[in-house]
Amino acid sequence: PSGQRQLISLVLWKLLASSTHAIGGALGTMASRLEKLLENAKAAESLIDTLDKDYEALDEDAEEWEVELVNNLLNENDKQAIYDEIAELRRYEAMAKEIRDNAKGEALLTALDRAFKELDKLGAPRKALIFTESRRTQDYLHSLLSDNEQGDGIVLFNGTNDSQQARQIYKDWLEKHAGSDRISGSRTADTRAALVEYFRDQGKVMIATEAGAEGINLQFCSLVINYDLPWNPQRIEQRIGRCHRYGQKFDVVVVNFVDLTNEADARVYELLEQKFQLFSGVFGASDEVLGAIGSGVDFERRIADIYQSCRDPETIRQSFEQLQRELATEISEAMIKTREALFEHFDEQVLEKIRIESLDTRNRYEQLFMDLTRVELERHARFDGDNSFILESLPDGSLQNLVPLGRYELPRRTGEAHLYRLGHPLGEWVLQQAKARELPPARLVFDYTVLQRGRLTTLEKWRGKQGMLVAELLTIHSLGGVEQHLVVSAITDSGEILPEDDPEKLLRLPAITKPLSPSSERGWGEGAFPLLDTDRTQRKNQLGEHINRRNLGYFEQEVQKLDAWADDLKVGLEQEIKEIDRQIKEVRRTAATAPTLEEKLSWQKQQRELEHKRNRLRRELFKRQDEVEEKRNELISELEEKLTQQADERVLFTIEWQLE
């Protein structure tokens, strides 16, 4: 059928891109199947079932592509065509097997070496998760890495996990956890758990296939290498998700292998990287973006059409540009909605960090810190620039032996100067002095004319006016931590409220102190300025709403991680059920071709035993799902407790203000 032919073509293109070992083995498998087909057409496996051993995800792909399996009886013309095809397949197989060294494999060694050095700089564990779509490529990479300095700590992970290494790791794991509830009794699930634990505690490199790595949690690894790059964006996101899980402490780095000399491969990567933003950007790919292409199967099929129908670079380029245009509207709309949703959960400080360059932000805070230092060390230091000073005497005896005299710079520009920073003992003393100081009521006259740039243009309307201003420190306990916010409110004598961040902007201007006005003698206590108190309350309520929205986003993110974690716990049983389904299908096929009644009965008995085992595992799956749901609810309750807000308020100062 055409659907099967297109799917097999897709698989062969992917195996060709994977390695010569993968494509050569697959061609040999196809030739062997055709030879069996000539011997007994009814007994021969379908091509889908045969190649499933070369390309593990094929069985799942066949279901998604809705491939219809058809076995036809052979006539003489069919047989001659098969003989010719076998000869051609064997010829190509021999050509592929003659190529032993793959430049792609050599590039992997270089990539691993560089990536591990970068992980060392970050303090991240030296661990890498390498994905391939071929079992034969997996074996080739194992052999390649074993012969080099990365040879220690390699673990293979696939759909069967029946290698000698896997069996030994499983045996050691059983001995280690004997008598504990870590052992589930399911060999498939326990083997997967043993391999993951080995990779976590002893391994450096895990080489995994698509189907094998489904559902495992590798949050202790922060390097993902797509040795074979899938065409389906959903699968790429799932791969990255193996490491980008609940508990990951580092940014997940993704390394992709792409043959840029192949126009089609390069265009596929360009589409994945630029349109779906799977590997870069602040936001990356979200559920909304990936949802624009559904399951990804139709997208994958359209790429396969381009590979099959286009024969020259120009035609390939035009076809991919057309595909991008067709997808642009859906993807762009989804990306916009995603950004809007994300921005709703960010408070103003986070948005500021996204909008402006980090250098400008750093310079502004450095200047504020130096201005504060200038005030606190006025009698003890000589300031000879905006970001440097000479400490001539210690402001406090407690700093003896902690703070040397001499030149300080922020940032340090000369070798003989001391680096001044927030964490320096002198910097900490300056902050503590300022925070502990009691600030009595005062009258400040601000000068608007000294502004060099028009950043504070909203203050223009308040020139020539005066009023009251209150600054409060709001300390909020939530998410298991503490955060502090400065809430500044101001009104004019005529009862106008300074909106938004105008009160904060006012405090950025230089000012001089003048005597309090006679009207201030009526008192500065709570309730003395009702309109100002109302604005203060509204600002604190708005801040609380902002924090709640941000925490809601955090809560939803954590719940999603917990849901994924819950899926990981039960996926072992689902994997084993899937494996038993495959065995049952194979037993049925064998029973159908058994030559004697005794053999048929024997196979039927084996099928019945497998079905009993499958039913038992299904019951166990439901039980585990209940246990997982209970655990998930416990974790959500813990999160809810952390999300509970407790706020402490403290008035820092109250002033009369005047803007000239």
Q: What is the mean pLDDT of residues 549-577?
A: 73
Residues 451, 448: Cα–Cα separation, whole Å: 6
Q: Supply the pLDDT for residue 550.
A: 77
Residues 441, 631: Cα–Cα separation, whole Å: 55
Q: Supply the pLDDT for residue 444.
A: 93
Q: Where are the alpha helices (DSSP H) in 99-215?
A: 103-122, 135-146, 164-176, 187-201
Beta-strand runs (E) in 403-529:
406-409, 418-419, 442-446, 466-478, 481-492, 511-514
Q: Which residues pair with 199 in a beta bridge?
A: none
- Name all domains of the chain by residue range, CATH numbers in brackets: 2-98 (no CATH), 103-349 (3.40.50.300), 353-437 (no CATH), 441-660 (no CATH)
User: 579, 187 in Cβ contact below 8 A?
Assistant: no
Confidence of residue 480 (pLDDT cuts 50, 70, 90): low
**C-alpha to C-alpha distances, 548 to 246, 348, 536, 539, nearest whole angstrom:** 22, 13, 18, 14
377: its two tokens: 């060390």
Residues 355, 368: Cα–Cα separation, whole Å: 20
Confidence of residue 283 (pLDDT cuts 50, 70, 90): very low
What pLDDT digit, counting tens, does each position of 157-192 carry? 988 888 889 999 999 999 998 888 778 778 888 898
pLDDT at 111 over 80: yes
Among 227-241, 264-278, 369-383, whose mean pLDDT is lowest? Answer: 264-278
Residues 193, 185: Cα–Cα separation, whole Å: 12
User: 116, 128 in Cβ contact below 8 A?
Assistant: yes
Beta-carbon contacts of residue 19 (< 8 Å; ≥ 6 apart): 102, 104, 105, 134, 136, 137, 140
Among 34-43, 127-136, 482-491, whose mean pLDDT is lowest? Answer: 34-43
Q: Supply the pLDDT for residue 359.
A: 45
Neighbours of 189 (CB within 10 A): 23
Residues 57, 425: Cα–Cα separation, whole Å: 59
Give me the amino acid identity at 295.
S
* DSSP category for residue 411: S
What pLDDT digit, counting tens, does each position of 512-558 carry? 998 887 766 555 555 557 888 889 999 988 888 888 787 777 777 76
Residue of 389, 459, 402, 408 whose CA lies nearest to 429? 402
Q: Supply the pLDDT for residue 454.
A: 46
Q: Supply the pLDDT for residue 380.
A: 92
Tell which wins on pLDDT, 286 or 430: 430
pLDDT at 570 over 60: yes
Q: Supply the pLDDT for residue 295.
A: 45
Q: Find where tokens 């799942």 sit.
A: 60
Tell which wins on pLDDT, 485 or 213: 485
What pLDDT digit, counting tens, does each position of 84-110 carry? 888 888 888 888 888 877 788 888 888
pTM of the model: 0.50
Q: What is the mean pLDDT of residues 623-636?
A: 75
- Residue 185: which region, alpha, beta or left (left: phi > 0; alpha: psi -120 to 50)? left
Highest mean pLDDT pick, 4-18, 229-243, 427-441: 427-441
What pLDDT digit, counting tens, does each position of 481-491 carry? 788 899 999 99
Residues 438, 434: Cα–Cα separation, whole Å: 9
Q: Supply the pLDDT for residue 446.
A: 92
Concatenated DSSP letters for 278-294?
SSSSSS---HHHHHTTT
